[in-house]
Every structure is written in structure tokens, then in C-alpha cells.
Amino acid sequence: MSNIYKVMVFISVSVLLFSCSGRVPLAIGEFRSCPDKPNCVSSKNSNVQNYLEPIYYKGSLNNAKVDLLLTIKTFDSAMIKKELDQFIHVEFTSNIFRFIDDVEFYLTEPGVIHFRSASRIGHSDLGVNRRRMNRIRLAFNARNKN
């Protein structure tokens, strides 16, 4: 394979990846199940592949929400896009290809934070959403010790 061909393939793939940022999910704020793809985790999903246990908290809902927001703000790639009384939508952007993952937190059940974390594009995320949610859980639990 010639070098010029390799460069052209690299440029084509790069343009395709950078131009495919995906779209914001239409139903933000309405809890949806994960699609049948390994690029999403949810605390309410019945599919074992996509299920991840919810985050539990002690104390009041307001304190839990403050702790969650402070936890989210420790992640450099996080941008809080929407915050309501019992709902938070956050976008996480990957460093290299600038892929966006949408994470929705629902504080509608006492003592429980349900969530859905999904990639906007692609079939697999290589476990990124699952690892991120586990890191958020650990950081939140360290903060919410009441």
C-alpha cells in the first residue's frame, strides 16, 4: 500500500470521525432504556449487558444533588447542560476524537440516583460509560458520607 493511499485513508477516516458528533437525544428528561448496543449503561435497564446498579445516597435529596454536582465538576470532560430539581443532564467529551456521551441523572426516588449514560454514536464504547459511572459512584460515595 503506497504512502499516499495510507494518508488519504487516514484523512478520510479522520474527517468522518470528527464530523460525526451525533445529536442530543430527543427525550432528555424522560428515562429511556438503553438500545441493544454495548455503548450504554443504565440503572433501570432490564438487559444485563446494559445494567449498572444505581447510586445510593444518605441524607436529603438536596444534599445528594449538591454532592452529585460537585462530583461531576471534578471531571474535566464534563459539561452540565441542564439542571432541574430532580434531573441533571451532563455531556462528557472524549479528549482525542471529541465523541460526546450523554449522562442523565434522576433523583426522583428517595435515597436513589438512577442514571443513563450513553454514547451518541457508534456501536461499542469499549466500556467507557460503565467505567465512568463507576468512577462517579466512587467519588460521590466518598463525598456523601452523612
**What pLDDT does residue 18 have?**
39
CATH code for the domain in which residue 97 is found: 3.30.310.80
What lies within 8 Å, CB to CB, of 118 at 6+ separation is 25, 34, 35, 39, 40, 41, 42, 101, 102, 103, 129
Global pTM reads 0.80
The total number of structural domains that make up the chain: 1
Range of the domain at 91: 33-143
Considering the domain boundaries, does residue 10 fall inside one? Answer: no
Considering the domain boundaries, does residue 24 fall inside one? Answer: no
Considering the domain boundaries, does residue 3 fall inside one? Answer: no
For the segment 81-132, what is each residue's pLDDT rounded down to a tens digit?
999 999 999 999 998 889 999 999 999 999 999 999 999 999 999 999 999 9
CA neighbor of 122 nearest in space, from 45, 14, 12, 17: 17
Distances (CA, A) of 53 to 2, 12, 45, 46, 124: 50, 40, 10, 11, 20
